[in-house]
Chains A and B, each alone.
Chain A
C-alpha cells in the first residue's frame, strides 16, 4: 500500500466515523426496524433503538481508531456483551448461524444509502472509497457477531457438560442407613470420579451402612466401567459401608461373563428393589404384610 492510499484510507475512516456520529439518529431509526433488532427486542421499539444506538457508537469509535478490519479493536469491547445476548437470543429462537449472519449483513444497505445521499450533498467528491470503507467495517461487524455467537455456544456446551456431571449423579436416601445412586448414561472416568465422591460424602452424612449402585441406566458395561464400579465398591467398603450393585440386566450379565470380569467380591442384584430388600434384611428390618401378618419373602 502506498503512502498516498494509506493517507486516503485514514481520511476515509475519519469521514465514516464523523458520518456515523452525525447521522446516529437516522441510522438508529432505520436499524431498529431491521430483523436483527426487531426480533430480539420484541417488547419495545425504544429498547431496539437504544441497542442500535450503542452499536452505531461502537462502530464510530472503531472507525475513528482506523482499525476497521480488526476484530480486537477496542471499540468493539463495549458492545461485545450486548451482541452476545442478541446472538444468543436469536439462536434460542431457532435461527441458524448463517441466518444471524444474514441479518447482520441486512443492516448494511440502509446505512450505505444514507452515506451516499450524505456525500452527494457535500463537495462532489467521489463517494466510492468511503462506501468501500463502510462495507469493510460492516463486514468486520458481521465476523465479530459470528465469533461472539460461536464462542458463546462453546461456553454453553462446557457449562452444560459440568451441569450434567452434577445432575446425573444424585445420591438418594432410601432408608435410614441405606443410600442409592442411580447411574444413567456413560460411566467414564470423570463421571465415576464424581459418583465416588458424592457417594462417599453421602455415606458419611447419612451414616449409611449400605450403598446401592444402580446401573439400570448404564447402556454398556465394559471392563473400564466394571473397574470404576469395583473401585467405588472398594472405597465404600473402606468407609465401613457395604456396596450392592443392582440393575444388572440379562444382556449385561452375559456380557460381563464373556468379558471375564470377576464381580465375585461384589454383592449384585437384578433390581433396585432386590438390593433394597437385601439391605433391609441385613439391617434386621422385617416387612410385614398387614393383611396376613406374615413377614416379607426376604
Chain B
C-alpha cells in the first residue's frame, strides 16, 4: 500500500476578518499549486472560508495549517483548523443543515463537509475544536474504509 507523505505549506493565524481573506488567498494559491481545477479550487476555498469563520466566530480565533499531500500519483491538500474555544457539545447536531448557534444560515459545517473529499472533527466541550479536511486532485486514491 502506498504511504501518504505530507509537506507543510503554511500555518496561518485566524484572529480577525482580515485573516479570513488571507486564508482564502493562501488556499487559492496552494490549491492552484497542487493542480486543482477551477471548480475544485472554488469548492475548497469556500469550505476553508466556512471553517475559518467557524474558528473565528465560535472558537474565538485559532489557526489553520495547510499540508501538501503526496500519495503515489495522487496529490492533495489537507487543511487543519484548530481553536481553543468551548468545543462542540453535539457534533451530529452541528453538522445538521439549518442548525446554528451564531445567527448564520447553519450551513457552514455541513456544507464544508459536502465540499471536500475527507472531513473529520476532533472536539470535546471545553477542549477546543480541530477540523481537518482533505481534497484530492481527481479521484481520492484510497477512500477511507468505512461503513457505507
Contact = CB atoms under 8 A, between A and B. Distances in A.
Do A and B associate with each other? yes
Interface residues of B, number: 24
B135 interface: no
B17 interface: yes
Interface residues of A, number: 20
Chain A residues touching B, majority SS: helix
Contact of B115 (A188, A224, A258): A258
Interface stretch (A27-35, A80-88, A215-223): A215-223
Contacts of B70: none
B128 to A, nearest CB: 22
A220 B110 contact: no
A258 B43 contact: yes
A151 to B, nearest CB: 19
A250 B41 CA distance: 12
Given A258-B114, A259-B46, A259-B115, A251 B108 contact: no
A220 B42 CA distance: 7
A204 B21 CA distance: 33
A220 B45 contact: yes
Interface in A56-111: none
A255 B48 CA distance: 12
A250 B115 CA distance: 15
Given A227-B105, A260-B111, A220 B39 contact: no
29 contacts: A186-B21, A186-B24, A189-B17, A219-B28, A219-B45, A220-B24, A220-B42, A222-B46, A222-B50, A222-B108, A223-B104, A223-B105, A223-B108, A223-B111, A226-B105, A251-B39, A251-B41, A251-B42, A254-B39, A255-B42, A255-B43, A258-B43, A258-B114, A259-B50, A259-B107, A259-B114, A259-B115, A260-B107, A260-B114
